[in-house]
Amino acid sequence: MRLRRKRDSGVALRAPDTATGRSAEPVVPVGDAVRPAPPAPPPPRRSRVPLAVAGVIALLIVAGAVAIALLRTQDGEAGELAPPVAVVGDTRSVLVVVEGDDGRAGSIALFTSDGGDDHRLLVAPRDLTMQLPGYGEGNIGDSLLIEDAALLRLALINELGIRIDEAIKLGPGDIAGVLGEAVRIDLPNAFIVNERDGAVVSASAGSDVFVPQTAETLLLTQGADSPLDWLVRQRAVWEAIAERIAASPAAAIAASPTFESLAEPLGEATVSVLPVERVGVGISELYVVSRDSDLLTERIAFLALVPGSRPRVEILNATTFPAVSRPLAEQLIERGFRIIKTDNAEERFRTDTLVIAQGIASQQAALDVQAILGSGEVVVQASGSGVVDVSIIVGRDIADR
């Protein structure tokens, strides 16, 4: 087939062979087309090539051979994708999302287990800011308003880079039902509710026994607390919930059969707060996952999607079809890519999808993306953006299928 060349697009690559499934083959950089070498003229009589010039020629030949070998090696490895992330041994992760009265996620807890004796329950704030794949940046608490717990799960996988096997959604009143009877909660701070005539202390700090409905209120109502103080209070309530499920799992199993296998490890789980950092100022307090903690790199590293860093990807919709980015983002996230951005492209009527490797070092990642999508022309920009590794400009060939 003929090569399509694009100005300022870097290295063009051939489309994958649909018969063999082989990935695209790198070809010559644009503007550097190879011309047939002219026949060598007869050697002049009684003239000799200086030794230094001969050395340079030999060096160029060796360098050319190395370059060709490198291209062939890359071509041979292209398309050999790692299989989808599989469960390793008895390791496990389950996300529990509790819906509040406002329809947002009121409380979020992630259970993790290494399959041995390391069980954790990580409580995350609902005002955690991150990419909601397919919808742009936002708070994970809004995921239930946009879709359901599946979007919240996907957003956390993308942000944390870990496997989350399942998501459980509990509605208003379900926590009270799971508890069934009064539980003891050790409140780290007083629970204060703002009333019309001023703030009222509804529960003092310290250990006390609360009926199920009050315990659910302590979990799902922020009151006068800051988001971080509320998060610490939620951790205390989740300790009581985990203990009750372990001791009397029947009500929890009725809410979700998954709790049957979680009951025993929940009783042994360490309940803690997901490490976060405040980035917002003023009235709105925004939080992001802290990268200074060893939680992801050591304590729950057994859940990592891929070893090392994940290729960063942006998806830009260059068509008039809506909701194109969401399913593409899910495919890539589950295969170990990190979605940095999903948005509309300036171009709106593109026919063929374009996969751009941002820098030579990102060529393999772009080829892997092409193989996952099953479509798209791959080009390599000589100098990367520094923000993303691969850019996907989605055309009708993908949007319309």
**Domain range list for the chain:** 92-302, 312-399
Residue 64 has, within 13 A of its CA and on its CB side, a CA count of: 8
pLDDT in tens, the chain (401 residues): 333 333 334 444 444 444 444 444 343 333 333 333 444 444 444 444 444 444 434 434 333 333 333 333 333 334 455 555 555 668 999 999 999 999 999 999 999 999 999 999 999 999 999 999 999 999 999 999 999 999 999 999 999 999 999 999 999 999 999 999 999 999 999 999 877 776 687 899 999 999 999 999 999 999 999 899 999 999 999 999 999 999 999 999 999 999 999 999 999 999 999 999 988 665 567 899 998 889 888 999 999 999 999 999 999 999 999 999 999 999 999 999 999 999 999 999 999 999 999 999 999 999 999 999 999 999 999 888 889 999 999 999 999 88
Give CA–CA dist 317/346, Å, rounded.
9
Helix (H) or strand (E) holding 192: strand 191-195
Return the closest-CA partner of residue 93 out of 69, 122, 127. 122
β 166-170/92-99 pair status: parallel
CATH 3.40.630.190 applies to domain 92-302: yes
Contact predicate 143/152, CB 8 Å: yes
CATH 3.30.70.2390 applies to domain 312-399: yes
Residue 343: CB atoms within 10 Å: 11
Contact predicate 376/355, CB 8 Å: yes
CA end-to-end distance (rounded Å), the chain: 24
pTM, two decimals, is: 0.79
Return the closest-CA partner of residue 398 out of 314, 313, 336, 327. 327
Give CA–CA dist 45/40, Å, rounded.
15
What are the CA-CA distances from residue 163 to residues 15, 137, 304, 343, 393 (Å)? 32, 21, 6, 25, 27
Helix (H) or strand (E) holding 344: strand 338-344
For residue 29 the two structure tokens come to: 């950089």
113 forms beta bridges with 92, 119
